[in-house]
Amino acid sequence: MARTIARGLQGDGVPVVTGCGVDGIVSAPARIGLRHRGGETRARFAVFCAGIGSDRLAEAAGASADPRVVPFRGAYRYLRRERRSLVRSLIYPVPDPSLPFLGVHLSRHIDGEVSLGPTALLAPRRARDLTWPGTWRVARRWWRTGVSELRHAVSQRSLAAAAAAYVPELRADDLDGGFAGVRAQAVGRDGKLIDDFVVSETERALHVRNAPSPAATSAFALAGLIAERAEGAAP
């Protein structure tokens, strides 16, 4: 979908550049300047949807440090091919409204693969994550949940047992291979795990500070909201 959108934009004369991370933001007369390894790009207005780097770029543009993005590493395991028939659709637990994480669930993908997970381990990138007051407040409040997640991360048996609450036939040796990723979780100074969209504005820029799920980050409804706000804020 992203490649198709990019081709459509390019067909309309809009340049699309990838693999070019923004290193700095500078103010220019009636413009905002984005510094990157290819030089500097200037624009009347910029929209930042930077995921794990959204807080850093928002601060560089003059926005508040709150909320801060604190990474969580999530790992999934696959079911062996011969055991995929155990899961014919999506199987989710009832969510805990106090947490933005869904817990262990099972998903059948369009290619027939079945994934199980994820784990959710606090994974600070650098010192600024550890010095953020919200990080320590999260760790102090949810340490029991953290112990459980650590157990799921290091023990295939523990992860399988959590999923067996929904699929009793599932066993640890049914798991085979997997993948992992990092969730850009916005955390307030007060330690609150933010589970809703956070969009802030600075001069000549709009910053998506939190888009809390892959479904949200790829949703055209959210794209429409961002485009509408950007259009209203752009000079």
The number of residues making up the chain comes to 235
If you average pLDDT over every residue of the chain, what do you get? 88
Mean pLDDT of 57-65: 92
> How is residue 161 written in tokens?
């047992």
Q: How far apart are CA 117 and CA 143, in angstroms?
A: 19
> What are 3-19's pLDDT values in tens digits?
999 999 999 998 888 88
pLDDT tier for residue 171 given thresholds of 50, 70 and 90: very high
Least confident of 69-83, 141-155, 156-170: 141-155
Return the C-alpha torsion angle 163, 164, 166, 169, nearest 10: 130
Span 149-163, pLDDT tens digits: 888 888 999 999 999
Q: pLDDT of 98-131, one tens digit each?
A: 776 778 899 999 999 999 999 888 888 887 788 8
Three-point CA angle 47, 52, 55, nearest 5°: 60
Surface-to-core class of residue 111, CB atoms within 10 Å of its CB (0-12 exposed, 13-18 middle, 19+ buried): exposed
Q: What is the pLDDT of residue 230?
A: 85
Instruction: Give pLDDT, residue 100.
Output: 65
**Three-state DSSP string of the chain:** CHHHHHHHHHHCCCCCCCCCCEEEEEEECCEEEEEECCEEEEECCEEECCHHHHHHHHHHCCCCCCCEEEEEEEEEEEECHHHHHHCCCCECCCCCCCCCCCCCEEEECCCCCEEEECCCEECCCCHHHHHCHHHHHHHHHCHHHHHHHHHHHHCHHHHHHHHCCCCCCCCHHHEEEEEEEEEEEEECCCCCECCCCEEEEECCEEEEEECCCHHHHCCHHHHHHHHHHHHHHCC
Instruction: Give residue 105's identity as a one-letter amino acid code.
Output: H
Amino acid of residue 56: R
Angle at 107 between CA 105 and CA 112, to 5 degrees: 155
Query: Where do we find the tokens 């923004």?
Result: 22
Domains of the chain by start residue, with CATH: 2-65+196-233 (3.50.50.60), 68-187 (3.30.9.10)
- Within 8 A by CB and 6+ apart from 57, the residues are 22, 25, 48, 50, 207
| pLDDT for the residue 8 | 97
